[in-house]
Structure 1
């Protein structure tokens, strides 16, 4: 099995990223903002189509950063601005993986590696139904969705026998009661609970809440002063927090904010596009609090994605093998390697897409569940196609998909 995994990783790393003759395009060197009147019209039409009140978008292109807000943050008339806070949902996963990278590189945790079995770190808490998996699931496995554990998202939340809200440790301890549906390292199965498990590992090793660890070691060094890890702190922040909505019976209905205490490293970040632009720039330039070897580890493909309808948004528009790294989806779009991640919860959506070879990245947030992701994908890939000078007839129809 391990030799096959090594061969898989080698294959993915050898996928040619240079443009073929058919894929070569003249890149547009944008010296002005991409957010012109034509794009504003596209945004309005797209938000109307998908019934999304508002979105914020930021583009990092070389040394330049542009950010803009469109539509409504909260009815009746509060506008979205680049400062508006949104729930980042699963775009959090990249930060969780980065936190582990920092621990592995730290002299305070010698012996810790991506191959370290989780049960050796939190033995009493981490028990799976299968003895082999309990003993052999590693940090790398958990962060690349290849543990054999499916989503089990309905197992989140609830209270314990005393009526107290269940925390991250409770979530980890519940894994022993949840069935595995594939042998270890044989199938990609997206599992938020495993990122919660790694959150518990980080907190156990450091003695620090993951939100505080990220703030001290990643966000503050990058100047990300508008990024939070729990709902109540974000609500009290000086930046406005967008209201999430569901479109039902031809009306926008507000959705209560989600309690993020048990979500943790699977999706608890609340931020704005200005702060995320700083994170994107650090990733593109392999700078900041992480080392170049840390970034290399985070970007290394770990698991192939299946060609299925469920995964079509991550496979259909792309060429070559699509994979999952550590907190990032990875593949090739129009001849260029990309890293990206979606985020979604009841009333918010988020998308981050990076092209390291182009020193180009985008982030966008919206305030409906799922439909905002569809709208955002249409908008950011329009900007990407403009950057790559893709002819209109060769562009992927995101709205149709």
Structure 2
């Protein structure tokens, strides 16, 4: 998932921007469309939110975000749900509280809740071994295979590296969810089992398969019947395939080549949906937050509580399973958000802010980023959905809302996150300058272009193809339609692939290692920019030549 998903960035509340230098013209803003639930009975907004419309509009302009939607719940009531800007740059349709956005990794809390529902019913325990539910499940290490528990699927402590194996689904492949899970057997482990935090996505796809096995339902049907319907989340969709013609849908926006804002194609996430497939609105997410803040209770029938899951399971979901490292702020202006503790529970990140425990998560999707934040002690929830990849926007809006209800001093979070973005861009520029300085531009490849052409196979991903067309080489990933691009020589036996889809922002070095006889032994890849999303885990590939006729585009 996109680098603006703070899931892997240590303190999380700090910042990790996926945009670089350059600015596109800001799309004309529509008037903020407002729908405040129970407005007649809702309490007045805190003083810091009296100018909220103007503040969010300033944030949108600062970070070039066409549209933002926000909902705030407090003490069991929705006190604000509102849209700002437009669904798509250059078009007039406004964002409102019912506009659907991809919520990406905010889906993970729904997957954890699904396992909790089944645990309450006695159909599984979070301490069960994965192989007790999926006997075919394998990790690269037999001990990890044998000892992996359902809780481990949710806690990012498996021994997989950051985003390892994500190319099996990102940025969209034709593998099924079970295909992805079965290929885990070949994804190398780089850390100790339960020894350290490293964010992954594909194990949430395995958790999805466990839900299906234990419930006897598809994950799509389970969510609809056991979560969406009870909560009245009528505007929430399983994935992009489930979007309806009458839905108000936001278009994602990315900065192609880290510079020019453009509409990103809508991804269909048909695999690993349990990690991040859902679309929702702030209207529906307000209902989700209210149930979370009420300990899983979503209603009452006389004296009987109607629950999604037990209070015991919620305490466990909101308890640290895996400690997370705490990073230093990128800029001094962000010092107030540095937490005293950080950890990951089950589908939720856990930190503190101004003495209060936060339960939260972010989501990153091509062209959209979002954040859901709960402050249990204050019965406070804030959700911010955006339709551009610049995470500073949702952070700045979230922090203003938190400060308003926690009685914190008024801070210019817009300026603070803009400063962090500028520093992040500067570091990326410095990194590129180092590459240019080290490059031997006069060097030549060791082989003719035909010597690099052919099929290559990685044990876990499958086949990729380098094809010669006249004086050009092109790279094509066999199972990923968007990963096609042209190679240009960089130096010696290193090339750069520049993907046809420029919004990916994921150009990569290709390093060919040769045998003593002048044949390609192995091909390794790594992203050119440090701003590239970590789900492009090119560095985990070990591509070896495949004899002609052995490789297939669908292997």
TM-score computed with the length of structure 2 as normaliser: 0.61
Task: Choose 1 or 2 for highest CA Rg.
Answer: 2
Instruction: Return the match for 1:178 from 178, 183, 187.
Output: 187
How far apart are 1:263 and its partner, in Å? Answer: 2.8
Instruction: Return the match for 1:277 from 281, 286, 296.
Output: 286
Distance 2:52 2:288 in 1: 25
Distance 2:338 2:326 in 1: 11
Note if 1:387 corresponds to 2:405: yes
Distance 2:132 2:77 in 1: 45
Instruction: Return the match for 2:219 from 193, 210, 213.
Output: 210
Judge conservation of contact 1:86–1:241 (CA < 8 Å) in 2. yes
Match of 2:43 in 1: 31
1:324-363 counterparts in 2 under 5 A?
A: 324-363=344-383
Distance 1:128 1:311 in 2: 36
Judge conservation of contact 2:329–2:338 (CA < 8 Å) in 1. no
5+ residue gaps, structure 1, are 1-29, 159-163
- When the two chains are superposed, the root-mean-square deviation of aligned CA atoms in Å is 2.5
Distance 1:89 1:280 in 2: 16
Match of 2:145 in 1: 134
Judge conservation of contact 2:368–2:388 (CA < 8 Å) in 1. yes
Judge conservation of contact 2:329–2:335 (CA < 8 Å) in 1. no
1:328-373: per-residue Cα shift (whole Å, max 9, x none)?
000111011110000001111110000010000100111112x0x2
5+ residue gaps, structure 2, are 1-41, 299-307, 421-555
Note if 1:51 corresponds to 2:64: yes
Instruction: Return the match for 2:125 from 113, 117, 121.
Output: 113
**2:86 match: secondary structure:** strand
1:287-366 counterparts in 2 under 5 A?
A: 287-288=297-298, 289-308=308-327, 317-366=337-386
Instruction: Return the match for 2:85 from 60, 65, 71.
Output: 71
**1:78 match: secondary structure:** coil
CA pair 92-311 structure 1, distance change in 2 beyond 3 A: farther
More helix by share: 1
1:40-70: per-residue Cα shift (whole Å, max 9, x none)?
2211221111111110000001143110000
Match of 2:394 in 1: 376
Judge conservation of contact 1:143–1:326 (CA < 8 Å) in 2. yes
CA pair 56-210 structure 1, distance change in 2 beyond 3 A: same
Note if 1:104 corresponds to 2:124: no
Distance 1:343 1:309 in 2: 22
Note if 1:238 corresponds to 2:246: yes
CA pair 155-276 structure 1, distance change in 2 beyond 3 A: same
Aligned residues: 360
CA pair 114-154 structure 1, distance change in 2 beyond 3 A: closer
**1:238 match: secondary structure:** coil
How far apart are 1:37 and its partner, in Å? Answer: 6.3
CA pair 393-296 structure 1, distance change in 2 beyond 3 A: closer
TM-score computed with the length of structure 1 as normaliser: 0.84
Match of 1:23 in 2: none
How far apart are 1:147 and its partner, in Å? Answer: 0.7
1:252-308: per-residue Cα shift (whole Å, max 9, x none)?
311111111113100011000010000100110111322212211211210100134
How far apart are 1:215 and its partner, in Å? Answer: 1.1
Match of 2:485 in 1: none
* Structure of higher RCO (CA pairs closer than 8 Å, 6+ residues apart): 1
Match of 1:61 in 2: 74
Match of 1:254 in 2: 263
Judge conservation of contact 1:353–1:361 (CA < 8 Å) in 2. yes
Match of 1:84 in 2: 99
CA pair 329-366 structure 1, distance change in 2 beyond 3 A: same
Note if 1:225 corresponds to 2:228: no
Match of 2:54 in 1: 41
